[in-house]
Amino acid sequence: MTGLPSFHYIREKVPIRAVAVELGLDVRNTTIRCWHPENHNNRDHNPSVGIKETKNYVHCFVCPDAKCLWPIDLVIDVNKDFHCLPKNQQVRESGLWIADRFKVPFIPKVNPKKKPADESWELGLTEDPLKLLVQSGLFASLSLPARSLAIALHALRSQKCRDHMAREWEVKASYHTLRKFSGIKSDSNIASALRELEEIGYCHREPSHPEHSTGPIKRSSVILVTPFSYDLMQLAKDNHASLQQASEAEMDMRRDRRRERQNEWQRKSRRLKKIATS
């Protein structure tokens, strides 16, 4: 198979619990025994790693510097063999390891020399993150605040991809900053615009961990802009197809109307001719 497994698909659809089982970890009901026993008392006899099935990640509550680990990260963290590889290769190897064990769609390889066709966004091969959103008609279906926020997030995203292959970008911004740049007036409108964009898969908020922090919860978040997420691309395809059907139907209607007009005109001219000849 050429190309790479869809990293978005793995992150969103390959169940984290099943990945942990495949890795041979000691998986319990809602927890896992940590695979870094050196950081724990009694080799983590009372499991410290929480499984967050709804968000598809695991998190150790004892290990210092523990992060949320989605399937790709978990495989890298557990497989010590990957640690000597450069970061990009780790991600790639981890993706292939998962694709060997779970059903994962592959994304075809992009030929950088080939000029992309106009419809290239359909495959998510476009380089322009807003193109997919706009051309699929999804942009037009959003509320005005969500549209403003989508553009603001696009402009505020970090220069560098956080993950080169998944093509997702970080935005670190407080609600205040988001209000300032999007023109949205209130925090609650920002929140609902964010929810709307999350629903279509355009972005998602990194989970914050109030359980770890001692101070008051700040309304500042890390937002991951994911304009090429698996969900967004599926939605874009469906939406584009139904838009095309609608415009075909409209064209049919126009053609029918045109025909009617022509018929009417012919009838009229025939009548006129009759009058002229009689």
Q: How far is the CB of 63 from Zn ion (least distance, A)?
A: 3
List CB contacts of 28: < 8 A, sequence separation 6 or more: 47
The Cβ of residue 97 has, within 10 Å, a number of other Cβ atoms equal to 21
Q: Please name the helix (run of DSSP H) or strand (run of DSSP E) that holds residue 230, with its range, or none.
A: helix 230-277
Q: How far is the CB of 162 from Zn ion (least distance, A)?
A: 16
For residue 170, the Cα-to-chain-centroid distance in whole angstroms is: 13
- Quick one: 33 or 131, whose CB is closer to Zn ion? 33
List the strands of the sheet with 57-60, edge to edge: 31-32, 49-52, 57-60
Q: Which residue is nearest to Zn ion (CB)?
A: 34
> Between residue 13 and residue 52, which ones bind Zn ion under the rule CB under 5 A?
34, 36, 39
> Between residue 49 and residue 68, which ones bind Zn ion under the rule CB under 5 A?
59-60, 62-63, 68
Q: How far is the CB of 34 from Zn ion (least distance, A)?
A: 3
Cβ pair 163, 119 in contact under 8 A: no
Q: How far is the CB of 104 from Zn ion (least distance, A)?
A: 24
Per-residue binder mask for Zn ion (CB under 5 A), 65-104, x = binder:
---x------------------------------------
Report d(CA 75, CA 135) in Å as an integer: 36
Chain residues binding Zn ion by CB under 5 A are 34, 36, 39, 59-60, 62-63, 68
